[in-house]
Structures are given as structure tokens and as C-alpha cells.
Amino acid sequence: MYTIQQASLFIEIPASSIRYYEKINLIPPIKRNQQGHRIFDEQAIELLKLIKCFRSLGMAIEDIRENISKLSLEQEEINTQAILIQHKKKLEEQIDVLNTFISEIDQKIIIKPSVK
């Protein structure tokens, strides 16, 4: 069992982010001890690690929420791989759109030789 400070240090995300994830129901309510302090079990830690991984890959909170709801603990590794493949495809589509914009900009900024 971990306190929020221990979980924060272990996972390397701010405690404020953990509180926020709980507030917006990205993670289920965290168990609390008799003093009312959050206590994190291994399952909560693994979920936070997964969220950190998804966030580091640029995944939006709503996409993370949707993907976490699809995970089943027995097939988490397989599901995580499918989620990452889907996210990669989405990023590649965004890259294609950006490359199109860049090409259009390049065509507009081509410097024409001045006539003397």
C-alpha cells in the first residue's frame, strides 16, 4: 500500500494529477485509511502507470477514459497493445494532415525571382 506521496514519487507524476484523475473519475475512488488519507494498492498503481504511459504518448484524457473502460484485467496486455496501435494510427493520420498543410504553405512561400 502506498500513500499519495509515495505513489507520486514511484510513478513520477504529481500528486495533484492523481487527485485530478480521481476527481474527474478517470480512476475509481481511491481507498482511504482511518485518517481519511488515500491508500493505493497495486491495481491502482498499475492503472496510474498506464495513464502516465498514455499521457506521455499524447493521448487525450477522454481517449484514455474510453480506452481504460475497455480494458479487462485478464487481457490487459493484449488490450493495451490494441489501444496503442489505434493511437498510433490516429497520430499518423494527424501527421498526414499536417504534412498536407506544410506542403500548401511551401507552395505559397516559394520565392519567385524578381524581374529587372
CATH at residue 43: 1.10.1660.10
Say what the alpha-carbon torsion angle 80, 83, 89, 90 is, to the nearest 10 degrees. Answer: -130
Asked whether residue 116 is domain-assigned, the answer is no
Residues for the chain: how many in total? 116
Structural domains of the chain, count: 1
Reported as a pLDDT band with limits 50, 70 and 90, residue 6 is: very high
Greater model confidence, 3 or 104: 3
What is the structure's pLDDT at 45? 92
- Over residues 56-78, the pLDDT tens digits come to 888 899 989 888 877 755 455 55
Asked whether residue 77 is domain-assigned, the answer is yes
Asked whether residue 64 is domain-assigned, the answer is yes
Asked whether residue 113 is domain-assigned, the answer is no
Is residue 72 within 8 A of residue 79, CB to CB? The reply is: yes
Is pLDDT at 9 greater than 90 in this prediction? yes
